Amino acid sequence: MSASLTAGMSETERESLQECLQRLLASGAILREDHRDLYDWARLHRERVDELAGLAGLKLVWEHDNRLVLALPQHPRLLRRLRQDETLIVLALWYDFDRQVKDEGRTPEDVAFRVRDFSEQFEAKFRHLQLPSATRLMEILHLLEKKSIVRLSETAGPFPDVVIRVLPTIRYLVPFSALEEWTRTRDRHLAAGSGNEETAGEQG
């Protein structure tokens, strides 16, 4: 870590700065609901956190209303290419998030549904495409949870009863400005079929 970047900082502050970078690289975001003290510390030291993230190839988005800091990779080497089935799940989650916020009036922090409902709606969105198996769907959801895109709860019971909460960070992973953009992307994937080609990227 640059000496000029940490000049005048205590050992505890340097450790907090390092933890911010590690969290951003590993999870792509710092959410206050998960890491309250770290989030509050980062807000107080925003300039230093921004500078350190920039050195690591990240651009930070500070969403104070949603109480999160999101890291957007600026270099291809920081991106992980999504497989076709992963991309379809992300597209479906974005659609459900967008509709619940815009049509049902839910706040971005309060978008949640059960796997059962998500699966039924997936079939309606992506006709002729088969939903990934339950095992594969859980793998994808765990990947997205690790990357701060969703949160899973009630996981002890049957898989269809698991609750998926979509986080506001999905708006940056899939940055559509309008539903028409989503529809065009959906149609492109329908035309491509259900292969395993690599498509959109996310932070690795």
Q: What is 97-143 written as a DSSP string?
A: HHHHHHTS---TT--EEEHHHHHHHHHHHSTT-PPPPHHHHHHHHHH
Q: Which domains, and CATH codes, for the chain?
A: 11-74 (1.10.10), 79-203 (1.10.10.10)
Strands 68-73 and 29-31: antiparallel
Q: Classify 193 as helix, strand or coil.
A: coil
Mean pLDDT, consecutive 10-residue segments, the chain of 204 residues? 70 93 92 94 95 93 92 73 83 91 89 94 79 92 93 94 94 71 70 49 52
In terms of Cβ atoms closer than 10 Å to its own Cβ (0-12, 13-18, 19+), residue 193 is: exposed
pLDDT tens digits for range 113-168:
999 999 988 888 877 777 889 999 999 999 999 999 999 999 999 999 999 999 99
Question: Can you give the pLDDT at residue 76?
Answer: 63
Is the whole-model pTM more than 0.85? no
Question: Can you give the pLDDT at residue 60?
Answer: 95
**Residue showing tokens 């510390």:** 41
